[in-house]
């Protein structure tokens, strides 16, 4: 008996991609602008989300999905304290959120009352890049103490981004971080990437991000 | 690492296609994996042997066809591969490139018996 070759040519993530498409359609129906926020642990994801909420809460309603590898609700509690609906998704040790976990999160949020959804992905620079969640944009929070070589070491995550936030700029004066070298790596991988250097501690640079974000939220309402 | 979920995806894709083609057994799985897709072959192989047990894919061989990351320079059209590190175009120094291969991640084909 000889083996027969059967051509397939199907993406390994095709099942996830189909689910991501359904998430996208649900958010589209309620005109909710959505952000998949990725970063390494401690880069400032939760701080950045809280700063964002504080600056737009008078104008827009924000829902948050918090992805965590363990059943700790520390981050979700902070969002709820800030007055916005949040759901905690425990990935059960998995290194990333996938589209079906996000779908479960969407079930628990009042989508028709929201203008913006932010998903805090699991802190990791490798795995989340591979799993599309169905958001409008993918955003990475890179932070100065992680070093200026990260685009060179983790090219994959930089390739797929729509927005880059460089956080903890208040620490630039203490750390050898060559901004030109960092940005050159980013430019090679993702030419013209929308980038906001910010400090979630001092608030520096956040206005430019908020302007960009609110224009996207409004645009989504119209389309 | 997400190799376990990746391996589960491969198994479900391969089993679907095997059933559709009326296979009694799958002997090989041919994957195409780009250099930038950060998948560790060894751990996929490890999970594969575990989770394919008692399925139509039991005992099949995983073949990893690795494609290199190749950039084309938008200034001078020179094509170069990603060596150890990202770098500007080695021919003209421009940093404006287009990635033309290296992000593939798909199941190319399966080999079956019927
Ligand atoms: N100096 C400084 N520290 C920051 C900044 N943003 C966040 N942090 C601190 O970094 C730590 C991790 O922040 P967190 O938001 O929990 O990061 P996450 O793990 O990515 O969600 C906390 O101690 C924050 O106070 C910043 O812009 N500057
Ligand atoms: Mg956090
Ligand atoms: Zn060139």
Is residue A23, in this structure, part of any structural domain at all? yes
CA A16/CA A186 separation, integer angstroms: 27
Query: Does ligand 1 lie within 6 Å of residue A167's CB atom?
Result: yes
Which CATH number characterizes residue A94's domain? 3.40.50.300
Looking at the DSSP assignment, which residues form a beta bridge with residue A90?
A: A68
Is residue A188, in this structure, part of any structural domain at all? yes
Which of A2, A3, A67, A153 to mutate: most B Cβ within 10 Å? A3
Q: Whole-prediction pTM value?
A: 0.92
Whole-number pLDDT of residue A59: 93
**pLDDT digit string, tens, across residues A8-44:** 999 999 999 999 999 999 999 999 999 999 999 999 9
Which pLDDT band holds residue A195 (cuts at 50, 70, 90)? Answer: very high
Q: How many domains does chain B have?
A: 1
Mean pLDDT, rounded, of chain A: 94
What is the side-by-side order of every strand in the sheet holding A137-143? A86-90, A62-68, A116-120, A33-38, A137-143, A163-167, A194-197
Query: Does ligand 1 lie within 6 Å of residue A42's CB atom?
Result: yes
Cβ separation B6–A12 shorter than 8 A: yes
Q: How many domains does chain A have?
A: 1
Is residue A161, in this structure, part of any structural domain at all? yes
CA A41 to ligand 1: nearest atom: 19
Smallest Cβ distance to B106: which of A2, A11, A16?
A11
Residue A83 CA to ligand 2 center (angstroms) comes to 17
Looking at the DSSP assignment, which residues form a beta bridge with residue B80?
A: B71
Domain hosting residue B18, numbered range: 2-68+102-113
**pLDDT digit string, tens, across residues B56-111:** 999 999 999 999 999 999 999 999 998 767 889 999 999 898 999 999 999 999 99
């Amino acid at each position: 008996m000889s083996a027969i070759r059967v051509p397939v040519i199907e993406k390994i993530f095709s099942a996830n991609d189909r689910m991501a498409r359904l998430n996208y359609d649900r958010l589209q129906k309620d005109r909710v602008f959505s952000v998949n926020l990725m970063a390494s642990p401690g880069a400032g994801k939760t701080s950045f989300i809280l700063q964002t909420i504080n600056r737009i809460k008078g104008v827009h309603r924000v829902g948050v999905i918090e992805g965590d590898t363990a059943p700790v609700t520390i981050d979700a509690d902070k969002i709820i304290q800030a007055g916005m609906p949040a759901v905690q998704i425990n990935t059960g040790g998995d290194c990333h959120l996938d589209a079906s976990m996000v779908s479960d999160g969407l079930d628990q949020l009042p989508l028709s009352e929201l203008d913006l959804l932010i998903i805090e992905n699991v802190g990791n620079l490798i795995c989340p890049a591979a799993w599309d969640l169905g958001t409008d944009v993918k955003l990475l929070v890179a932070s100065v103490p992680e070093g200026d070589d990260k685009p060179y070491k983790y090219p994959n995550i930089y390739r797929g981004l729509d927005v880059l936030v460089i956080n903890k700029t208040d620490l630039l004066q203490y750390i050898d971080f060559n901004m030109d070298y960092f940005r050159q790596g980013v430019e090679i991988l993702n030419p013209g990437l929308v980038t906001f250097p910010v400090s979630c501690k001092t608030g520096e640079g956040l206005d430019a991000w908020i302007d960009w974000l609110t224009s996207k939220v409004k645009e989504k309402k119209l389309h | 690492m997400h190799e376990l979920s990746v391996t589960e995806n491969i198994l479900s894709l391969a089993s679907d296609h095997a059933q559709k083609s009326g296979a009694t057994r799958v002997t090989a799985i041919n994957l195409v994996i780009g250099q930038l897709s950060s998948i560790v072959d060894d751990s996929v192989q490890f999970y594969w042997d575990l989770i394919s047990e008692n399925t139509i894919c039991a005992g099949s061989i995983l073949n990893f066809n690795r494609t290199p990351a190749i950039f084309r320079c938008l200034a001078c059209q020179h094509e170069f591969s990603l060596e150890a590190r990202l770098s500007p175009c080695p021919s003209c120094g421009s940093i404006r490139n287009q990635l033309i291969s290296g992000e593939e991640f798909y199941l190319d084909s399966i080999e079956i018996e019927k």
